[in-house]
């Protein structure tokens, strides 16, 4: 995983183009991927606030628990193997170029510290320190900070989701499908779509389905069963219940009322 991979796949809260980013680790992404996330070629600091995280650091498997900090030097390799469902952890990553600039600028790094971290990167820390880190990045941001969170990448993700919805709505109705196709977790997709549009992913999917059903009821002579099959509903009754929940009438009654309104409009023009 290089720096751009980290930006692409993780929920980045803060990011600077010069080579430093801070992101939250999602358990779903760590657990579901066949190819486990590998941190290499980056200086990384891992904060474990709560839960457990299984890692392999330089060939040594370790189970990290709450109140743990891991300092991974850029020449070391850390593989994220598995995470508990309640994992609450953050990862700060810095490119070698960024670290070189910090060192040239006078960052207090000693040879003793580097040697110590190289031999034992896992450090137990005061829980108050990690709690403060968690508290800062978990708080709802003020209005002036929103632009920082709603990055161009998130807007692009939202746009790609709406485009995919138009292309796949006849076959796919699940949040999981769209999240997987976009290489993000369902939770992250839900958060981005809700923040940028004010509507949930489910609302977007359901509204798109309703439009497709309405279009076929109004413009074709397809039966409700045929519409259900084309839109990948398990059966006609499922589509009928879904449509009635959102429109207040059954598909057949909706079509009948639509045609009645058209007849009245045509007779009024004569």
Position 202 confidence tier, pLDDT thresholds 50, 70, 90:
very high
pLDDT tens-digit map of 29-88 = 788 766 777 888 888 888 888 889 999 988 888 888 877 888 887 778 888 889 998 888
Q: What is the pLDDT of residue 221?
A: 92
Position 213 confidence tier, pLDDT thresholds 50, 70, 90:
very high
Q: Where are the domains of the chain?
A: 3-142, 152-264
Position 140 confidence tier, pLDDT thresholds 50, 70, 90:
very low
pLDDT at 11 over 70: no
Q: What is the pLDDT of residue 144?
A: 39
Q: What is the pLDDT of residue 3?
A: 56
| Arithmetic mean of pLDDT over the chain | 77
Q: What is the pLDDT of residue 42?
A: 82
What fold is seen in the domain 3-142? Jelly Rolls (2.60.120)
Comparison of pLDDT for 139 and 226, the residue scoring more: 226
Comparison of pLDDT for 35 and 143, the residue scoring more: 35
Residues near 245 by beta carbon (within 8 Å), at least 6 away in sequence: none
Superfamily of domain 152-264: Homeodomain-like (1.10.10.60)
Beta carbons of 12 and 21 less than 8 angstroms apart? yes
Q: What is the pLDDT of residue 177?
A: 93
Comparison of pLDDT for 135 and 140, the residue scoring more: 135
Q: Which of 90-94, 107-111, 156-160, 266-270 has the highest mean pLDDT?
A: 156-160
Q: What is the pLDDT of residue 13?
A: 52
Q: What is the mean pLDDT of residues 98-117?
A: 53
How many beta carbons lie within 10 A of that of residue 75, not counting itself? 11
Structure tokens at 72: 């991974």
pLDDT at 135 over 60: no
């Amino acid at each position: 995983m290089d720096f751009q991979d980290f930006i692409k796949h993780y929920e980045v809260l803060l990011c600077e183009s010069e080579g430093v980013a801070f992101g939250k680790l999602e358990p779903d992404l760590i657990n579901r991927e066949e190819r486990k996330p590998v941190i290499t070629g980056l200086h990384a600091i891992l904060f474990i606030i709560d839960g457990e995280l299984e890692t392999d650091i330089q060939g040594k498997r370790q189970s990290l628990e709450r109140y743990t900090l891991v300092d991974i030097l850029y020449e070391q390799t850390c593989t994220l193997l598995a995470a508990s469902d309640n994992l609450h952890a953050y990862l700060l990553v810095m490119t070698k170029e960024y670290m070189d600039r910090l060192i040239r600028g006078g960052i207090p790094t000693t040879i003793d510290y580097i040697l110590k971290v190289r031999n034992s990167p896992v450090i137990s820390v005061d829980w108050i320190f990690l709690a403060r880190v968690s508290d800062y990045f978990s708080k709802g941001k003020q209005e002036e900070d929103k632009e920082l969170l709603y990055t161009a990448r998130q807007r692009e993700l939202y746009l790609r989701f709406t485009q995919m919805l138009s292309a796949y709505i006849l076959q796919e109705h699940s949040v999981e499908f769209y999240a997987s196709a976009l290489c993000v977790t369902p939770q992250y997709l839900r958060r981005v779509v809700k923040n940028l549009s004010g509507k949930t992913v489910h609302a977007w999917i359901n509204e798109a389905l309703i439009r497709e059903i309405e279009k076929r009821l109004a413009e074709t002579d397809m039966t409700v069963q045929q519409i259900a099959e084309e839109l990948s509903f398990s059966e006609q009754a499922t589509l009928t219940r879904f449509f009635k929940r959102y429109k207040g009438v059954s598909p057949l009654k909706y079509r009948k009322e639509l045609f009645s309104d058209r007849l009245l409009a045509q007779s009024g023009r004569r």
